[in-house]
Structure 1
Amino acid sequence: MSLKKEINYSIWCDFVERDFLENEFKDLVTNEVIHGATSNPAIFEQSISSSDAYTQQMNMLQANENKKIYEELAISDIKTAAKILKPLYDNDANDGFISLEVDPLLCDDTKATVEEGIRLYKQISHDNVMIKVPATQAGYKAMEELTTLGINVNATLIFSSIQALESAKALNEGILKSGKDTKGVVSVFVSRFDRTLDSLMIKKDLEPAKVGIMNALKCYYEIEKIQNDNIRTLFASTGVKGDDLEPTYYIDNLIYKNTINTAPLSTIKAWIENGEKSKSKVITEDECDKYFEKLAKRDINIEKTSEQLLADGLSAFKSSFEVLLKKVKI
């Protein structure tokens, strides 16, 4: 039995690029290796900067403002992905989604985020699209308003269990108000914790490459308490850096019921070859709590780290977006 049928577990691809969508992506979807895809400003900045596939359309759009050019390029890709994923969505409306993020510069403006989310969703005009909204104070309200309108939402840049719960609550409120089969995912970022804390963990004679997984699971348990089948935890930032860990480390250890793992293409390929294809050994919420109590006693402040990672994540996405807007003008 597949992991999808057994525990409602899915792999999504954290990569969008035009040539890839028209070729390899189709094969991965057809063979049901992946069941969805995600994008973000950094991914589009990389794809548009490095691929000639965008040149012709970009040239045709040069009379427009920078943001308009970017949106036309991105929406073309999102529409392509949505069409390819549609059969999966038609078969199981929990999967087959592609995500597009709102302008990250709007992260502290609820009204502008909602207006842009509505506009992008209407322009794309595919049911199997999620609008990505960063998990800020303004973002929680925007998530609720968008889902109330029946717009599927991907709550992103989540580093703490508090963010995870607030996002799940916002999505739940909106979905219940919508009266529709509206979907939401809560994107919990994983590996960045370990990249930030591993050197400190080693200095304190603590196991490295563990905080990210334990924190992700704590977030997962908070999300599951909402008990809404239309809301799933999505583990993001699951690629490894360097050779210290197996490429599939953050997939193999996070195969849990009702979850998604959105991974870079290279990580997915490694998982196809050598990755774990069965449920992970369960770490309970109580074990997570005790683990973080132990870290607190060793003066490792997870709350402070979460706040810094959120600030860094927002800054990085804003920077990528600003660089991208400059690059679309030839």
Structure 2
Amino acid sequence: MVNRDIGFSLWLDFVERDYLKNEFSKLIENGTINGATSNPSIFASAITTSPAYKEQLESLAGKSAKEKYEALAIEDIRTAAQALRSSYSEGNDGYISIEVDPFLSNDTEGTIAEGKRLFAAIGEPNVMVKVPATEAGYAAMTELLDTGISVNATLIFSPKQAQKCLKAMTKGLDSFEADGGGRVDAVISVFVSRFDRLLDADLAQEGIDVSRTGIYNAAKIYNLIEKNHTPSIRTLFASTGVKGDELAADYYMRELLASRSVNTAPLATIESFVNSKGLMLKLPIEESEINGYFIKLADSGFNMDEIYASLLKDGLEAFEQAFKEMLESLESIK
């Protein structure tokens, strides 16, 4: 559940048209969530498997695949934003994110143009434009924030990426404030569980605790963001779903419960978290403990810089592949 007393927010990592028009509002009304996120993989799954898009797709005959996708996504994001508007008006987050075309991850101007165009087309103030944390993305974050568009920086794996996000976001926010300001927010989405899926088998062979790398890495980035002392920039913990039955469904959510933070997760993970007993704040973790863990990894031959680079590359490619497959499926619909 959302806990405004400690500044803890819970956002649903799922978008599908029928769900948005029905159960979604109940989660908002009962205080379970106060925001939502989407990404290319989520939209690809929804659009290609749900019959809810059939009627609108028929009306888009003759359009390009990208035009069809944007029309579908814009309507869904607008629906979610309108459902979340009461939360937004109360200052209780109320944001929904839409990601720019993943093939623009190395194109600053293209990212800026698409982010502005999508934000204007949706026409709701409580929309965050999601931008991958690449070299091209940092400059785009600055420009979007400078024009009053809230930003969700995504695919953050390393503290270095988070630091660059902070620098870019702070520059954009300061410029926006100097021009008169208004309400604009930013989150830095730290991906968590992918570290453990990649490393746990090798860590176990070395006798190192498993299912902790993602948590310690996220805790390090959380500390970095909190030390920046910028109220409108918060840590968002993403990729918190577990695979298999070795861990409780809400393991990462419980282990990363922190004040002034956002956690985004699929519905089943959120339900498990809401039903958990004895929840308590787990962050911050002392820097000495975090550093000690990563020294142990380095001493055992794990190169974190290489791991960060590999996970970012894989994440970008996964979003590109999902987007490509979705466009191909839409292309086949005449």
Q: What is the TM-score of this pair, normalised by structure 2?
A: 0.96
Choose which of 227, 231, 240 in structure 2 pairs with 1:238.
Answer: 240
Instruction: Name which of 170, 173, 184 aligns with 2:171.
Output: 173
CA distance in 1, matches of 2:277, 2:169: 32
- Percent identity, aligned pairs only, is 47
Q: Does 1:250 align with 2:248?
A: no
For the pair 1:140 / 2:142, whether they are aligned, the reply is no
Deviation at 1:3, TM superposition (A): 5.9
Deviation at 1:125, TM superposition (A): 1.0
Within 5 Å, give how 1:150-169 maps onto structure 2.
Answer: 150-169=148-167
CA distance in 2, matches of 1:313, 1:295: 22
How far did 1:282 drift? 4.1
CA distances 1:218-267 after superposition (whole Å, capped 9, x unpaired): 11111122211000100000000000000010100101111000001110
Pairing partner for 1:128 from 126, 140, 143: 126
* Counterpart pick for 1:97 among 95, 98, 103: 95
| Alignment partner of 1:39 is 2:38 | yes
What is residue 298 of structure 2 aligned with on the other side?
296
Contact 2:165 2:188 in 1 (8 A): yes
Deviation sequence 1:32-74 (CA, Å, 0-9, x none):
1001000000000001111100011011102111101000000
**Match for 2:56: what amino acid?**
Q
Aligned residue number for residue 51 of structure 2: 52
Length-normalised TM-score, structure 1: 0.97
1:30 paired with 2:29, answer yes
Deviates more, 1:298-307 or 1:208-217: 298-307
Pair 1:275–1:54, CA change in 2 (3 A): farther
Query: Which residue of the other structure, out of 207, 210, 216, is the alignment partner of 1:208?
Result: 210
* SS of equivalent residue, structure 1 residue 98: strand
The CA distance in 2 between the partners of 1:77 and 1:277, in whole Å, is 33
Q: 2:96 is paired with a residue of what secondary structure? A: strand
**Partners in 2 of 1:170 and 1:88 — Cα distance?**
27
- The alpha-carbon deviation at position 108 of structure 1 amounts to 0.3
- Bigger mean CA deviation after superposition, 290-299 or 305-314: 290-299
Query: Per the alignment, in what secondary structure is the counterpart of residue 320 of structure 2?
Result: helix
Task: Give the aligned residue type for 2:165.
Answer: S
- Matches of 2:274 and 2:46, distance apart in 1: 23
Structure 2: unaligned runs, 5 residues or longer: none
Contact 2:236–2:262 (CA under 8 A) maintained in structure 1 = yes
SS in 1 for 2:18: helix
**CA displacement at 1:279 relative to structure 2:** 1.6
Show structure 1 runs of 5+ residues with no match: none
Aligned residues: 328
Does the aligned pair in 2 maintain the 1:248–1:275 contact within 8 Å? no
Partners of 1:87 and 1:96 within 8 A in 2:
yes
Asked whether the equivalents of residues 154 and 184 of structure 1 are also in contact (C-alpha less than 8 Å), the reply is: yes
Aligned residue in 2 for 1:117: 115
Of 271-280 and 127-136, more deviation after overlay is shown by: 271-280
Aligned to 1:82: 81
